[in-house]
Amino acid sequence: MPEVRTCSLAQMGTGQRGTVIEVAGGRGLAGRLDALGVRPGKRITKISSEIMRGPVIIQVDRTEIAVGFGMARHIVVRPD
C-alpha cells in the first residue's frame, strides 16, 4: 500500500494546494469548519501564514478563510 503523505494545515507550505483529509478535534470545531466548506475531500490552497503563529489563510472554492493557528493544527491535509 503506497505511503500517503499528510500533514496539518499549519505545516503546509505557503501557496501549496491540497485536499482536506480529516478535521480532528471536537464536534464544535468540525461543525464550524464544515459550514464554511472545510470538509474532508475539499481542495484548498494555503494562501499565507502569518508570522509568529498567527492565523492561517486558506482558499476554499472562491472564498478566503482565516483559521486560528490552534485550529489549523487540527486540520489534516494531504498536499499535492
Partner 1 sequence: MGNPNVGKSVIFSRLTGVHVISSNYPGTTVGYTKGAMKLGDGEAEVVDVPGTYTLEPTCEAEEIALRMLETGDVVINVVDATNLERNLYLTLQLLERKVPMVVALNLWDDTKHRGITIDLDRLREMLGVPVVPTVAVGGEGIKPLVQSISEARSPGFPARTSEERWMAVGKIIDHVQRVSHRHHTWLERLADASIQPVTGGIIALAVLAGTFVLVRLISESFISYVLDPIFNNLWAPVVLKVSGWLGGGGLFHDIVVGTINGEEIDFVSSFGLLTSGLYVSVAMVLPYVISFYLVLGLLEDIGYLPRLAVLLDTVMHRLGLHGFAIIPTLLGFGCNVPGVLATRVLESRRERFIAATLISIAIPCASLQAMIFGLVGERGARYVVMVYGTLFVVWIVMGLILRRAVRGFTPELLIEIPPYRLPSWRSVLQKLWMRVRGFVLEAVPIILLAVLVINILYSVGVFDAIADAAAPVVTTVLGLPREAVSALVIGFLRKDVALGMMAPLGLTDHQLVIGSVVLAMFFPCIATFAVLLKELGVVNLIKATVVMLLAVLAAGGMLNLILS
Q: How far is the CB of 22 from partner 1 (least distance, A)?
A: 15
- Beta partners for 75? 23
Examine residue 55 and tell whether it contacts partner 1 (CB under 8 A). yes
Q: How far is the CB of 33 from partner 1 (least distance, A)?
A: 7
Q: How far is the CB of 1 from partner 1 (least distance, A)?
A: 26
Examine residue 20 and tell whether it contacts partner 1 (CB under 8 A). no
Examine residue 31 and tell whether it contacts partner 1 (CB under 8 A). yes
Centroid of chain to Cα 25: 13
Q: Out of 19, 48, 76, 79, point to the residue binding partner 1 (CB under 8 A).
A: 48
Contact 23, 38 (CB under 8 A): yes
**Nearest CA-CA partner of 50 in 10, 77, 79:** 10
Cα end-to-end span (Å), the chain: 18
